[in-house]
Structure formats: C-alpha cells, structure tokens
Amino acid sequence: DTAPKTAPAMMDLHACAVPALTVKAVPVSATLPLRVAVLWPDAPHKAHIPGEEAMRGVTHLAAYDRDAPGELANVPIGVISMFVDIKDKSAQFRKFAVAPEYQRRGVGTVLLHHAISKAARTARAFYHHVAAQKDDNTGVPFRIYANTRLASRAWYEARGLKLAPPHCRPKNEQTKEWSPFEFPDVKANCVFYRGGHAYAQMETVFDASKAPFVVGAGFGRTGTMSLKLALDKLGMRCYHMAECMKGGKNHDDFFMKLVTLPSRERVERLREFMNTNGFLAAVDFPACAFWRTLCFAFPGAVVCLTRRDFDKWFESVYHTINRPQHDPEIRVYRSFHKMLNTRVGSHIRMVELIVWDGTFGAAKFRLKGHEEDRERIRQIFDANTKAVQNEVPDACLVDMPPGKWAPLVSVLGVSAPKDAFPHVNDTKEFQRYFFTARSYVRIAMAMVVGGFVRVFQGRRKK
C-alpha cells in the first residue's frame, strides 16, 4: 500500500494505483485458502477459528480483481474478517491477508476501509436507535481494534488506528524482557508476544450515537458550494474553500503543513482539525484532496461524489478559480501579496501547493491549443471519479445528482427539507465577483503607482 502515488490528490496518503476491485461478503470457507497461504503456511490449522461459522456478528470480506483473466477473477486476492460485539461496544478485525502479488497496491487499504465502515454502520444502526429512544446525548464510544505486529504500527496509524492503552492488552499472552530501543515510544506493558514477535493492540474509537461525517470527494466546480449549503441546512456544518478563506492564515498554514507531515500523523491531525473547529462535513478543495485520509479519520464516513461533464467543468474552472493564474493584472496582485507574506499571499500559496501543483501537476488550464495538458487534466479528473467508485463501499457512497435531496438524506437517515436543493456559485455569479475584485485591484495598483510617481516628483523638485 505504499506504491508510487499518482494524481489525483497526490498528497493523499492512500493515493496509489489500486486494481479494479470488487469487495463483497463471503462465507468463511472462501477466506481459508488465502489465510493459509499468507498467514499460516506452516500451521494451516491456525487459519480457522473454532466455531467461526456459527458466530453472530461476524462478516467475512473478500476482494477480487475484476481485470484478472478467466477464473482468476473469481479467486480472492485479499480477505479480512470483522467480529462485531454490540454489547461490548467493540469490533475486532482478524485474519487480514493480501496475496503477495497484490501487496503494496492499495488492496489492503481498501479492504480495511470496507471492514471498518461495515462495523461503524452496524454500530450506528443500533446505538443511534437506542439513543433516540432514551433521548440520551451522552454519546456511545465504540472501539474498532486489532492485535497487530508492532512492525506494522506505522501502516495502521496512517489509516486512523493508534496504540491502545495498556489495559486493552489481551490476557495470558506471552511476555518477556525486550529492548526499549526497538520501539522507544511504546510502553512495555502495551506489548505482548506471539511466536517471538512483538504485538500490540491498535484501535480507533468513535461515537456510534452520532451521524457519520460527510466527505466530499468531487473536485471544486462540480457543485461543491451547493452541496456545502445543503449540508449546512441539514445541520451538518461543512468545511469548504470558503471556510478556509474565512479561517485565514491559520487554515492555510494547516493544510500546507499537512502535506509535509509523515503519513502516520496526517489522519490524527485532520481529525483533530475538523473536530476542534466544529465541522461535521468537508467538501471542495483543499479537503477533497485528502478524501481517503478523511475516510479513515472518521470511521463509516459518507462519501459524496459530485460530478460534471468534463468539458463543461474544464471551461468553468478556466473562467473562475483558475482565472487568477492567467490574468496579468491579478498575477501582479498575487505576486505582491506572496512577496509580503500577507494573509492573501498565504492563501495563494496553499492553493498553488494543493490544487494546481499537488492535484494537477504541470498541466495547465488553457482553452486553445495545449491539447496534451487538457488530456492530462481529463485523465486526472476521470481517475478521481473511478477511484472513489472503486474504493468506497457502496453503502457509504452517494453519487450526487444535481439538485436532488433524496440520495443524500437517504444515506444520512434524515428528512429532506421543504426548500429546493441549493444551486449557487455558477460561472456567471463567480465572474461577477471576479470582475469586481479586479476593479479593486486596478484601483489599488493605480494608487500605488500614483504614490511612487509623487514621491519621485517630490525628490526631483528637491
């Protein structure tokens, strides 16, 4: 799962070339061959848990490569089992295996996402109903965990799990003296041993009585502002580029710093940022560049995919948010603010880093000529749509049709407002704002130039 990253969202920790996958629930018998081959080749009896077939609350998931030739398309390339215990308010995933030839290609990441989402949906379906009956707003902490080798700790931390406290360590496990230099920031009483390997519990905890976080995975100019207003109307305060601009330099600096952080720190920092600022949803840039990370930061998150015809989207971007990139007067204004490191300059640097360079790379938005750039942007645009559809569980994915409440309120389990679905921020509206801003820029530039002329004339008179 650490394969070379490819656009879109090249900063996103999980952005890699994932095979075309089908993930579905299967009987335990379908998982056993891969469990044996990957996990227990020398002790096949350990691949099966006694009585596993009759256990309640157990879901076995398998991933299949749709592009594999012939019968290989029906052979699992990855498996994971999730054991949900509603009374204990916990779920444990076990027997997690990916075929060697598919490792480091994102298959494990997608399987883990599906398993965690399944457990989170099961917990929310039960505890949201219970909380509503009791009119209880105290919250229900629900724990998803696994006993993993400490050598895999960074991989799990990059996907939203962290070391569980010492009291969570399984009882009656083998213990021994070990070197603190091997894992200097891990307390010895968090560690246990199996077969000579150091293990610890990794966990993620969320409130099962609350509605799921909503993640917008569509690029800007695909209806994200309308979606933001719709979510706000549903009581789910939504982060958007407009909120980023209101947040000023602190928000810009946060996202620029986020890109530079080690992957294992990004999930926790992004979760903390959204929770601290009171956001229950996030759409549009810069957040949509990290949609995979947000899905692990908030277990069971609902992912909204806003879409648009590519050619119409391309022209809309060119005439709106990309216009400052090629308008001479605005470019002078931008350079001035970047040089002085103003609040506006900070925002410009963030947009360049995450949107124009980070997502679209060297490709430029131009209406005439430069067909290679346009085709490259088309590939990035289409790749993002396909990645969302390929990686997000169907039960968590909302393919947003323009102007309709039904798909969104259905997956969130709320009633649709009587008002029409918002429709704002179209190209003409954005251009009116842009031309007004450019008028102010011209006035400011004229005043600056006029000031320099007066100073120069004054010195000549002296």
Rounded mean pLDDT, 80-92:
96
Contact yes or no for 412/212 (Cβ under 8 A): yes
Each residue of 24-40: b (16+ CB within 10 Å) or e? eebebebbbebbbebbb
pLDDT tens sequence across 88-125: 999 999 999 999 999 999 999 999 999 999 999 999 99
Tell me how far the alpha carbon of residue 333 is from its chain's centroid: 33
Residues 6+ apart with CB under 8 A from 380: 7, 8, 359, 360, 361, 363
Q: Is the peptide bond before 44 cis (omega within 30 degrees of 0)?
A: no
Rounded mean pLDDT, 354-364:
89
Residue written as token pair 């779920």 = 91
- Classify residue 103 as exposed, middle or buried by CB count within 10 Å of its CB (0-12, 13-18, 19+): middle
Check pLDDT > 80 for residue 14.
no
Residues 6+ apart with CB under 8 A from 285: 219, 220, 241, 351, 354, 355, 359
What type of residue is 116?
I
CA dihedral 414, 417, 421, 424 (to 10 degrees): -110
Nearest to 421 by CA among 306, 344, 332: 306
Report how far residue 88's alpha carbon sits from residue 352's, in angstroms, rounded to the nearest whole number: 47
| pLDDT of res. 455 | 67
| pLDDT of res. 253 | 96
| pLDDT of res. 30 | 97
For 141-156, the DSSP string reads EEEEEEEEEGGGHHHH
What percentage of the chain exceeds 90 in pLDDT? 64
Residue 330: band (very low, low, confident or very high) from pLDDT cuts 50, 70, 90: low
- Classify residue 453 as exposed, middle or buried by CB count within 10 Å of its CB (0-12, 13-18, 19+): exposed
Average pLDDT for the chain = 85
Nearest to 49 by CA among 10, 72, 82: 82
pLDDT tens sequence across 166-195: 767 666 555 554 444 455 566 666 788 877
| pLDDT of res. 460 | 60
Residues 6+ apart with CB under 8 A from 296: 14, 113, 116, 159, 160, 204, 267
CA atoms lying within 13 Å on the CB side of residue 33? 8
Residue 277 tokens read as 């600022």
pLDDT tens sequence across 408-448: 999 998 999 999 999 886 656 555 554 555 555 555 555 65
Across 217-274, the runs of DSSP E, i.e. the strands, are 238-239
- Classify residue 216 as exposed, middle or buried by CB count within 10 Å of its CB (0-12, 13-18, 19+): buried
Specify which residues 78 forms β-bridges with: 63, 98
Across 122-212, the runs of DSSP E, i.e. the strands, are 141-149, 162-163, 192-194, 197-207
Rounded mean pLDDT, 321-348:
75
pLDDT tens sequence across 231-259: 999 999 999 999 999 999 999 999 999 99
What percentage of the chain exceeds 70 in pLDDT? 79
